[in-house]
Amino acid sequence: MSIPVDPDSAELVISLLSAKENPLEVLQKDLECIFGSVEDAVGPLKFEFTTYYDMELGEGIRRWIISFANMVDPSGLAEIKLATNEIEQRYSKEGRRQFNLDPGLMTLGNFVLATGKNNAHRVYLNTGIFADLTLIFRRASYRPLEWTYPDYSDSVLLDVLNRIRESYKQKLEKQR
């Protein structure tokens, strides 16, 4: 019989996609009201992996990776995704989003994104939100899986996430 134990807190990481010049200037206050102070924001990073978002967000999309000072309870991933969806809707114009916010939870062993789209490798959480196991940590780095989005397989993004993981690891050690 396995004995249930509470997991460690997770590091909340949000990927922000936008064609706007300085989207974090617009969104930081909203994000901090919900998730606490931003600890790190890396960007802009190139985003040339797909044209999927061009019609909605515009051309010249770039990415920012945002992490927060406060760690979160991993059981709250669905609620976090719903909150980021609400922020996206608040700033939408004429039915088009200005920002794409993709929250993920980082642990020492993996990185999981929240999504509203089901697929064979995704686990249903609640309220229409699924968990997507995007990366696993092996041999000193996060590693993509066969279904990992191409942009999350990119070495630049993996380097950013590995650096954030080191900060997260230090926060965990202080918490214990």
DSSP 138-150: ETTEEEE-TTS-G
What is the pTM (predicted TM-score) of this model? 0.95
Tell me if 131 sits within 8 A of 42, measured CB to CB: no
Confidence label for 49 from pLDDT (cuts 50, 70 and 90)? confident
Q: Which two tokens stand for residue 139?
A: 């041999």
Give a yes or no: residue 116 inside a domain: yes
Confidence label for 103 from pLDDT (cuts 50, 70 and 90)? very high
Give a yes or no: residue 5 inside a domain: no
167 in helix, strand or coil?
helix
Q: Is the dihedral of CA 83, 61, 108, 130 positive or negative?
A: positive
Distances (CA, A) of 16 to 47, 72, 95, 100: 11, 19, 18, 6
Domain count, the chain: 1
Express each pLDDT in 11-30 by its tens digit: 999 999 999 999 999 999 99
Tell me if 92 sits within 8 A of 84, measured CB to CB: no
Considering only the C-alpha atoms of the chain, give the largest distance between any 2 of them, rounded to a whole number of Å: 54
- Give residue 50's domain range: 11-175
Give a yes or no: residue 114 inside a domain: yes
